[in-house]
Amino acid sequence: MADASAFPADIRHDWSVAEAEALFVQPFNDLVFRAQSVHRAHFPANQVQLSTLLSIKTGGCPEDCAYCPQAARYDTGVDAQKLMAVEAVVAEARRAKEAGASRYCMGAAWREPKDRDLEAICDMVQGVKALGLETCMTLGMLTGAQAQRLKEAGLDYYNHNIDTSPEHYGQIITTRTYQDRLDTLAHVRDAGMKVCCGGIVGMGESVRDRAGMLVTLANLPEHPESVPINMLVQVHGTPLDGTRKLDPLDFVRTIAVARIMMPKSMVRLSAGREEMSDELQALCFLAGANSIFAGPKLLTTPNPGRDHDSLLFQRLGIKPMPLETHAHG
């Protein structure tokens, strides 16, 4: 009989793609058992951290990310809007906290923020922090000076996903390089903020690409404290609309391998939950996911309602993670 303690949960930064690929092709039950064992070595077994995501500046983005309804070049029915007022953002954050969120994430559809926008952004960070919430921003690429300014305003996390493997990246985005993304992550780390960085699966990538994406994350000098794993939400008008759907069990495998390779990171079951069955989400929690986005929307795509999430948590015996027990992420 397999012994849970037989699985080392060491923090490593020297993974090879072949090693990660070997995890992906393990028998499903073995992989999930190992992931759950690693998870229990570092986190409470039945707690999930709740984050809420608000689009503070929607649409009109000059990038060409093939999955994104906010790219100005695609006709997806998303209208470009200006940056929200600080007071409106803080009011939304207050509602999110009342509904149980412990982290508040704010996203702007920019290639990179302009310095003139940072004053309002910093005011938002301070307003949300004053409510007792963790703060996270995703604003595109950052310079070192911009990262420093956000840190001084009190920003806890910066989200900047690598999206996929270095090899598959050019099929998805041509308007910025993989290195651009890694440079922004380095600026965030150097400024002393926590990193939220993951990717998207179901974009026509291979198992090797999924392994390569997780190797890139796990071999960073420090593991991201938060690793969102997104299932592609296909949006009419984007180039990836009509892509063959990923086998749901391959999605669970991605969660499990992320948990094994980054034992102390929050692994977030992120975009795509609206299309997932309760049973699939339950398997993701079993495979080591311990964070979700709660609330009606993820930027511009739908998300399950809070009542549905509460009911699912009740059925699974899962409780929202209190802020003070966020072990690492």
| Residue of 103, 181, 259, 268 marked active site | 268
Rounded CA separation 250/234 (Å): 17
Please report, as a single letter, which amino acid is at residue 153: A
In sign, the C-alpha dihedral spanning 35, 40, 45, 51 is negative
| Residue of 34, 122, 136, 253 marked active site | 136
Cα-trace Rg, the chain: 19
Is 284 marked active-site? no
Is 122 marked active-site? no
| Residue of 196, 197, 253, 273 marked active site | 196
Q: Where are the beta strands (DSSP E) in the chain?
A: 47-57, 103-108, 134-138, 157-159, 194-196, 199-201, 226-231, 266-269, 291-293, 297-298, 301-302, 319-320
Is 103 marked active-site? no
| Kind plus residue range of the DSSP H or E element containing 292 | strand 291-293
Is 196 marked active-site? yes
Q: 212 with 9: CB under 8 angstroms?
A: no
Nearest Cα to 193, choosing from 152, 141, 228?
A: 152
Q: Rounded to an integer, what is the distance from CA 18 to the centroid of its chain?
A: 24
Q: Which residues are catalytically annotated?
A: 61, 65, 68, 105, 136, 196, 268
